[in-house]
Structure formats: structure tokens, C-alpha cells
């Protein structure tokens, strides 16, 4: 599959381990990849788009998940690996009064909590921690088993490890596209449990993101290796590519017949979707709309922002560029307030052209 964010482009190859079911970006294990992803991270300032500390719904759910399953207080020592600005640690400290420190390799972000710059290993700190957080970090790591082992070794004997990653199970169920250049490891519930099968699982949630808390204390006997249905994963990737072909054919046919295509949202999902269409779909009949975007043209592909009043008398297909159902529904509501004469494309839902169950 092809990826571009409008600035950096690369053909991504995703592979499946027949033995354990682990899905990984095999194209990441190259010098070309290292150079491209280093360029992305050198300019990584995505958090600047949000006020500090970021308190979106998913972040608050993660905070509640930890605090309801681990007893933390003012004497607790917490480390976050891949802490970015420190939004999550700030909220944890605010909630339980703990001692917090972050570790972040990027030098671009201004840290708002005590932060060590660099890459984590078992020798990064002399002291041990009561909780180590890996929140949307593990999917960026080429050798996840190594960092997990190092993190667990850096815990107190009764310490906890919190992991949060995009869920491959949810991705496969709802056709979510999390296959971006900087994501190199993809975790299903079974794969992550197999990686941590020597430790006690305190809590696990797989309803949107995959969240898990494990305790350092080893269990008396390791969990039996969980069988992973590799054939199901292979079928998903075939169907996933088929959906892009169907979407491409629909947009080409629609725009060549005089209709217009409106991509609602210009975040990551827009860039992923349009990048794969770029070159085969004429831009002259493609537009974007985003409630929070103030420019006339988006800066990745140069699509023009459409005046919503203009769509009322047009033959329109609208592509919801989000993997969040609530956001998709809000997009549909916004369109419906102007016209109901359009065809919605729910790419990140089970059915390409209708809401699930419709």
C-alpha cells in the first residue's frame, strides 16, 4: 500500500507472522524508512494544535481506566515513555498527586512536565517506578518485545505497566486505516496478551483503543499461547484493499460524470485516503471541507475548500475522513443541514456506503 502525508511518501509493506499472528510494517526495516521517519519526527508538532493539557474524550477514558484499576497517590512514581509535551502525565499528577517524569526523543515539542530527552532503555534511570505508561508509543517501535522487557525491569516489584495502542481487532472489524508511515507494529488483543503472558493482567479494554494493565509480579505458570486466526487477518487485508479500489472507482465515475467529491476533514485519514487516490482522480472536481480549517486550500494536496452553500444544487458524494463514529455522524448532520441530496461514503465502517446496520 502507498502512503503519503503530502510531504513524505513511501510504499508500505505489511507482513503477518505465521507463527504468532503479529502484524508489522516490514518496509520499516530499511535505511530508507529510517531517513523518512526521522524527517517526520524532526518536525513533529501535532500537539501544538491542542491546548494544554489535552482533555479529549479518549484521553479522559484512559485516565479513568488507570485510576480505577491502580491505587496511586502522592508517593507514587510514574514514568511515561514517549510523553510528548506531557499532557497525560500532567492530568495524572493533577488527579492523584503522583511524582511524574516523561521520556521523549523529540526535541521539537516544548515539555510542560519534567522530561528526559532521549530513547528509553533499562539503564535510563537508576530508580524504579510504580507505574510506567506506554500510551500510543508501542505501535511506533520496531522491536516491541525488547522495550516491554526493559520497561518491566524498570518497575518496582509491585509495579504496573499500562499500554495503549490502536486495536487491530477494531481496525479489522470497522475497516479503520491505521496504516501510516510511523506505525510499524499492529496489535490484536491476542498478540499483546501473548507478549505479556508471563505477567498478571489486571485489566484490559478493547472497545476502541486496546488498553491493558499488567502487574510486574510473574504468574506461577505462563498463560497458554493463544491461537491467533491468521486467515482472518489475511482476508481483512484483501478486503481492505478492495474497499480502496471500490472507492477509487466510485469517485472516478462520479467526477467524470460531472459530479463533485467532498472530503470532509483534512486530518490524517484524509491524507491517507486521498494519497491512494492521487494521480487517478482528477482534482478539478474534488474539494474538502473542515469546520476548523481556516485556509482556502488544504496544504497537503492543494484541494480547495468548498462553500457549503454551493453543494445544495450539485451532484455530490461526501467522504467522511474520520475513524470516529460520533465525528462521522456530526459530519453527516452538518451536510444534512444544507442538503440531503448527496451520497455519503462511510469508509471506516463495515458498510462502505451506509452506516452499520442501515
**CATH number of 329's domain:** 3.40.50
**89 in a structural domain:** yes
Reported as a single tens digit per residue, the pLDDT across 189-209 is 999 998 998 899 999 999 889
Q: Is the pLDDT of residue 77 over 80?
A: yes
Per-residue pLDDT, averaged over 321-340, amounts to 87
Q: With respect to residue 335, please indicate whether it lies within any of the assigned structural domains.
A: yes
The stretch 60-78 carries a mean pLDDT of 97
**156 and 272 fall within a common domain:** no
Query: In this structure, are 179 and 249 located in the same domain?
Result: no
Q: Is residue 311 part of a domain?
A: yes
Output the average pLDDT for the chain.
Answer: 85
Q: What's the CATH code of the domain at 77?
A: 3.40.50.150
Q: Are residues 204 and 84 in the same domain?
A: yes
What whole-number percentage of the chain has pLDDT above 70?
A: 87
Mean pLDDT score, 240-264: 88
Among the ranges given (34-48, 53-67, 103-117), the one the predictor scored with the smallest mean pLDDT: 34-48
29 and 115 share a domain? yes
Domain that holds residue 22: 2-228
Is the pLDDT confidence value at 299 over 60? yes
The answer on 316 and 221 residing in a single domain is no
Local confidence band at 312 (pLDDT 50, 70, 90 cut-offs): confident
Residues 165-176 have pLDDT tens digits of: 999 998 888 777
Give the chain's domain count.
2
Question: Would you place residue 92 in the very low, low, confident or very high pLDDT band (cuts 50, 70, 90)?
Answer: very high
pLDDT of residue 193: 92
- pLDDT at residue 293, as a whole number: 82
Which pLDDT score, from 0 to 100, does residue 223 have? 47
Q: Side-chain half-sphere of 261: how many Cα atoms within 13 Å?
A: 27
According to the model, what pLDDT value does residue 151 have? 96
Domain boundary among 204, 228, 252: 228
pLDDT on residue 210: 97
Query: What is the predicted pLDDT for the residue at 241?
Result: 83
Which of 228, 258, 287 is the last residue before a domain boundary? Answer: 228
pLDDT tier at 346 (50, 70, 90 boundaries)?
confident
Could you tell me the three cell numbers for 323? 475513524
Work out the average pLDDT over 59-63: 95
Say what the pLDDT of residue 357 is.
38
- Same domain? 11 vs 128: yes
Asked whether residue 358 is assigned to any structural domain, the reply reads no
Pairing state of beta strands 209-218 and 199-205?
antiparallel
pLDDT band at 107 (very low <50, low <70, confident <90, very high): confident
Residues 247 and 315 in one domain: yes
Same domain, 195 and 206: yes
How do residues 17-39 score in pLDDT, each as one tens digit? 888 889 999 999 988 888 887 77
Q: What is the pLDDT of residue 355?
A: 45
**Residue 196 covered by a domain:** yes
Phi first, then psi: what are they for 65, rounded to 5°? -60, -45
pLDDT at residue 358 tops 70 = no
CA distance 272 to 180: 7
Tell me which of 181, 207, 228 is where a domain ends: 228
The residues near 286 (Cβ < 8 Å, ≥ 6 apart) are: 251, 255, 260, 261, 262, 263, 274, 303
Other C-beta atoms within 10 Å of 16: how many? 18
Kindly state the cell numbers that stand for 202. Answer: 489486571
The answer to whether residue 350 is domain-embedded is no
Would the pLDDT of 150 be above 90? yes
Question: What cell does 165 get?
Answer: 495502542
pLDDT(328) > 80: yes
The pLDDT assigned to 114 comes to 94
| 260 and 215, same domain (yes or no) | no
* 98 lies in some domain: yes
The answer on 247 and 221 residing in a single domain is no
Residue 107 resides in a domain: yes
267 and 291 share a domain? yes
Residue-level pLDDT at 356? 43
**8 A C-beta contact, residue 112 and residue 58:** no
* pLDDT surpassing 70 at residue 3: no
**Does residue 293 share a domain with residue 173?**
no
With a CB cutoff of 8 Å and minimum separation 6, the contacts of 270 are: 263, 288, 298, 300, 321
Question: Over the stretch 266-294, which tens digit does the pLDDT of each residue have?
Answer: 877 787 788 777 667 778 899 999 987 87
Q: Would you say 77 and 99 are in contact if contact means Cβ atoms under 8 Å apart?
A: yes
Amino acid at each position: 500500500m502507498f502512503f503519503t502525508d503530502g510531504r513524505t511518501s513511501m510504499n508500505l509493506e505489511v507482513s503477518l507472522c505465521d507463527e504468532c499472528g503479529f502484524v508489522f510494517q516490514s518496509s520499516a526495516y530499511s535505511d530508507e524508512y529510517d531517513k523518512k521517519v526521522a524527517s517526520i519526527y524532526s518536525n513533529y508538532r501535532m500537539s501544538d494544535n491542542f491546548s494544554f493539557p489535552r482533555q479529549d474524550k479518549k484521553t479522559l477514558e484512559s485516565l479513568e481506566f488507570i485510576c480505577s484499576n491502580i491505587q496511586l497517590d502522592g508517593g507514587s512514581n510514574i514514568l511515561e515513555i514517549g510523553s510528548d509535551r506531557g499532557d497525560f502525565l500532567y492530568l495524572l499528577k493533577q488527579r492523584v498527586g503522583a511524582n511524574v517524569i516523561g521520556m521523549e526523543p523529540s526535541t521539537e515539542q516544548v515539555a510542560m512536565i519534567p522530561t528526559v530527552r532521549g530513547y528509553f532503555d533499562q539503564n535510563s534511570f537508576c530508580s524504579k517506578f510504580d507505574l510506567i505508561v506506554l500510551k500510543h508509543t508501542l505501535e511506533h517501535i520496531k522491536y516491541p518485545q525488547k522495550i516491554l522487557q526493559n520497561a518491566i525491569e524498570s518497575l518496582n516489584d509491585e509495579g504496573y505497566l499500562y499500554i495503549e495502542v490502536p486495536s487491530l481487532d477494531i481496525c479489522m472489524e470497522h475497516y479503520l486505516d491505521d496504516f501510516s508511515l510511523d506505525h510499524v507494529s499492529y496489535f490484536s488483543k491476542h498478540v499483546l496478551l501473548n507478549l505479556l503472558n508471563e505477567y498478571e493482567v489486571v485489566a484490559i479494554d478493547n472497545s476502541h483503543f486496546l488498553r491493558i494493565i499488567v502487574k510486574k509480579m510473574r504468574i506461577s505458570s505462563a498463560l497458554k499461547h493463544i491461537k491467533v486466526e491468521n486467515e482472518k487477518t489475511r482476508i481483512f487485508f484483501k478486503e481492505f484493499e478492495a474497499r480502496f479500489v471500490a472507492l477509487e472507482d466510485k469517485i472516478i465515475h462520479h467526477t467524470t460524470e460531472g459530479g463533485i467529491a467532498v472530503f470532509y476533514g483534512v486530518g490524517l485519514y484524509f491524507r491517507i485516503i486521498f494519497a491512494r487516490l492521487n494521480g487517478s482522480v482528477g482534482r478539478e472536481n474534488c474539494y474538502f471541507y473542515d469546520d476548523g480549517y481556516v485556509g482556502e486550500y488544504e496544504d497537503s494536496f492543494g484541494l480547495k475548500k468548498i462553500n457549503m452553500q454551493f453543494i445544495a444544487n450539485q451532484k455530490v458524494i461526501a467522504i467522511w475522513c474520520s475513524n470516529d463514529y460520533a465525528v462521522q455522524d456530526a459530519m453527516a448532520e452538518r451536510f444534512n443541514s444544507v442538503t440531503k441530496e448527496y451520497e455519503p461514503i462511510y469508509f471506516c465502517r463495515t458498510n462502505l456506503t451506509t452506516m452499520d446496520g442501515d
